[in-house]
Amino acid sequence: MKKIKFMALGSLCLILGLQSCQTTEDSAIVEEEALTKELSTELLEKLAQAQINTDDVKYVDFLLPDGSTTEMIEVEGDIYMTESQILNMKTTASENSRNYRTNNLVSQGKTITIIGYTGGGGYGLSSKERTALQWAVNNYNALSGVSISFQLTFGTNYSNKDMVVYHNPSQSGAGGSAGFPENGNPYKWVQIYGLDNYDTNVVEHVITHEIGHSVGFRHTDWFNRASCGQNVNEGAGSIGAIDLGGNSPETSVMLACFSSNEDGEFGVDDINGLQIMY
């Protein structure tokens, strides 16, 4: 953009002379610097804490009624604030009071066939794990205003099932793993492991959490994993981290890490998030 301006000004030099050309070039440089001025990290973080979209935030010359302009910051296309207004904003909710989903979801209205694997080799679910899976599925199916539902069976023939819940005997630690939806289908493979010493409610929590990922939930604290005592951003990446709102993070089943006293039940934000998603 600057090069184009200078090419045009080069032609003007031949007509108007060097002095007027230099003045015009200086103006062009000032204008270019104003257009490319970047917001500080502090300002962007303050906007994010207030749940304001930080995409395309920029400085602009805001026109006043007397024809003069003042520097303002444009957010979300039609909101204008000064630096001091942003820095002095009071935020009632932090980022970890939100629920988030991926870009891809399960097809609306889909009945998800889910099987609890009962085969051998250490891969089959224990009696406690089967009970926890039943409780988790019951909780999903009991939700009102949610279009997807689950059809649960137990057995070994999982080839035609949408989702398989099974035990991973070789994984260290305690927890579970899953993936995210693709092509309108939930992620198929839900593993749990190392939960023998936890009660059924905790196992229910872990299974509910992993099913949540399979239908599109991100971690509530994906941006810092604070529930794990960490400060690590998982990144939105191509899978996305779309804000679903909420203000009760401590009750969410979708926090990255769990405790030994989980009750296995949805938090209010989890329910609202599923109702928004489906």
- Residue 59 belongs to some domain of the structure: yes
Spatial CB neighbours of 179, under 8 Å, sequence gap ≥ 6: 187, 189, 213, 214
Nearest-angstrom CA–CA distance, 9 and 58: 27
pLDDT at position 135: 98
Q: Do both 56 and 121 map to the same domain?
A: no
pLDDT at position 262: 97
Residue 19 pLDDT exceeds 70: no
The 10s digit of each residue's pLDDT in 79-126 is: 677 888 788 765 544 444 479 999 999 999 999 999 999 999 999 999
Q: What pLDDT band is residue 74 in, cutting at 50, 70 and 90?
A: confident
- Residue 42 belongs to some domain of the structure: yes
Structure-token match 């926890």, residue found? 132
Q: Do both 86 and 185 map to the same domain?
A: no
Q: Do both 87 and 107 map to the same domain?
A: no
- Residue 3 belongs to some domain of the structure: no
The 10s digit of each residue's pLDDT in 160-183 is: 999 999 998 988 899 999 999 999
Most confident option among 5-14, 15-24, 28-37, 44-53: 44-53
Residue 12 pLDDT exceeds 50: no
Structure-token match 């999903």, residue found? 140
- Residue 18 belongs to some domain of the structure: no
- Residue 1 belongs to some domain of the structure: no
Q: How many CA atoms lie within 13 A of 189 on its CB side?
A: 5
Q: Do both 79 and 134 map to the same domain?
A: no
Domain with 51, as residue range(s), is 38-92
Mean pLDDT within 234-263: 89
Residue 2 pLDDT exceeds 50: no
Nearest-angstrom CA–CA distance, 212 and 78: 35
Least confident of 4-13, 49-58, 126-135, 243-252: 4-13
pLDDT at position 8: 36
Q: Which of 92, 119, 137 is the last residue of a domain?
A: 92
Q: Which of 50, 74, 92 is the last residue of a domain?
A: 92
Q: What pLDDT band is residue 144 in, cutting at 50, 70 and 90?
A: very high
Q: Is 67 exposed, middle or buried (0-12, 13-18, 19+ CB in 10 A)?
A: exposed
pLDDT at position 154: 98
Q: Do both 223 and 248 map to the same domain?
A: yes
β-pairing verdict for 149-155 and 111-117: parallel
- Residue 15 belongs to some domain of the structure: no
Q: Do both 131 and 221 map to the same domain?
A: yes
Q: Do both 127 and 236 map to the same domain?
A: yes
pLDDT at position 69: 81
pTM strictly above 0.75: no
CATH number at residue 135: 3.40.390.10
Nearest-angstrom CA–CA distance, 249 and 95: 9
pLDDT at position 51: 56
pLDDT at position 190: 93
Q: Who wins on pLDDT, 20 or 98? A: 98
- Residue 33 belongs to some domain of the structure: no
Q: Who wins on pLDDT, 90 or 242? A: 242
Query: To the nearest whole number, what is the mean pLDDT of the chain?
Result: 82
pLDDT at position 191: 92
Q: What pLDDT band is residue 18 in, cutting at 50, 70 and 90?
A: very low
Q: Do both 117 and 52 map to the same domain?
A: no
Domain count, the chain: 2
Q: Do both 160 and 49 map to the same domain?
A: no
Q: Do both 246 and 205 map to the same domain?
A: yes
Beta bridge partners of 182: 185
- Residue 264 belongs to some domain of the structure: yes
Q: Do both 123 and 158 map to the same domain?
A: yes
Q: Do both 149 and 80 map to the same domain?
A: no
CA 123 to chain centre: 31
